[in-house]
Chains A and B, each alone.
Chain A
Amino acid sequence: GESVGLHLPTLSVQEGDNSIINCAYSNSASDYFIWYKQESGKGPQFIIDIRSNMDKRQGQRVTVLLNKTVKHLSLQIAATQPGDSAVYFCAESNTGFQKLVFGTGTRLLVSP
């Protein structure tokens, strides 16, 4: 069956460092991937997405890398700030109607 998992439940970094959050997926037919950020008491907030015909996509301070060979997705955050502290989810889909499969999330803690 489909599954999306995260390697680390918690990642602690210093302010200013670069953060890398990893995600593994099992469905090789997945063709769309999204990263969400969820702050305490709020709903998931879209960060960046990538389609399977790409292996890298950049946004503002964030980069998503997709390695289809090993079914691995990562989110890189440059110059991490305290406001980046949150839980980060990856999600994947491949079905006709949008049916995202979410991982359990990685908590990013940024200390000053």
Chain B
Amino acid sequence: ETGVTQTPRHLVMGMTNKKSLKCEQHLGHNAMYWYKQSAKKPLELMFVYSLEERVENNSVPSRFSPECPNSSHLFLHLHTLQPEDSALYLCASSPQGGAGNTIYFGEGSWLTVV
């Protein structure tokens, strides 16, 4: 139990589908993140939210749309994805958004786009 819960753990979707990944943190943190992990590539930061405000969008295509309704919940809305978007999507949180705050990860959502 990491304190960061992601659902679903596995998702298979077609390129025309619309789906969402959900993340909830139980750590009382103020910052939340989405990372993408592809095979044999370093973890890539996608989005950062601090106090429910998006503070970082790391040149992510618009087919990925984040939503942070409150400091405990984070969503990643997916639509018209490509097969190369298949990856492990990791949600994370930290006490604050500033550098030097330890980031704690969830177990990830495995996404396969067919």
- Residues of A whose CB lies within 8 Å of any CB of B are 4, 31-32, 34, 36, 41-46, 49, 51, 89, 91, 93-105
Which chain B residues lie closer than 8 Å to A4 at the CB level?
A: 42
In the complex, besides A43-B108, A46-B103, A100-B43, 18 extra interface pairs with C-beta distance below 8 angstroms are: A31-B100, A34-B102, A36-B105, A41-B107, A43-B4, A43-B105, A44-B90, A44-B105, A46-B105, A97-B50, A97-B55, A97-B56, A97-B99, A98-B94, A98-B99, A100-B45, A102-B43, A104-B40
**Chain B positions 16-30 with a Cβ under 8 Å from a chain A Cβ:** none
The answer to whether B2 touches A45 (Cβ under 8 A) is yes
The one of B31, B40, B41, B105 that contacts A98, using a Cβ cutoff of 8 Å: B31
How many chain-B residues does the 8 Å CB contact rule pick out? Answer: 29
- Residues of B whose CB lies within 8 Å of any CB of A are 2, 4, 6, 31, 33, 40-43, 45, 48, 50, 55-56, 90, 92, 94, 97-108
Which chain A residues lie closer than 8 Å to B108 at the CB level?
A: 42-43
- Closest residue of chain B to A51 (Cβ to Cβ) is B100
The answer to whether A100 touches B98 (Cβ under 8 A) is no
The answer to whether B103 touches A100 (Cβ under 8 A) is yes
The answer to whether B43 touches A46 (Cβ under 8 A) is no
Question: How many A-B contacts are there with CB distance less than 8 Å?
Answer: 72
The answer to whether A103 touches B42 (Cβ under 8 A) is yes
* Bound-complex Cα distance A36 to B106 (A): 13
* Bound-complex Cα distance A4 to B55 (A): 23
| Interchain Cβ contacts under 8 Å between A and B, 30 examples | A4-B42, A32-B100, A34-B102, A34-B103, A36-B105, A42-B107, A43-B4, A43-B90, A43-B92, A43-B105, A44-B43, A44-B90, A44-B105, A46-B103, A46-B104, A46-B105, A93-B100, A94-B99, A96-B99, A97-B50, A97-B98, A98-B31, A98-B33, A98-B98, A98-B99, A99-B48, A99-B56, A99-B99, A104-B41, A105-B42
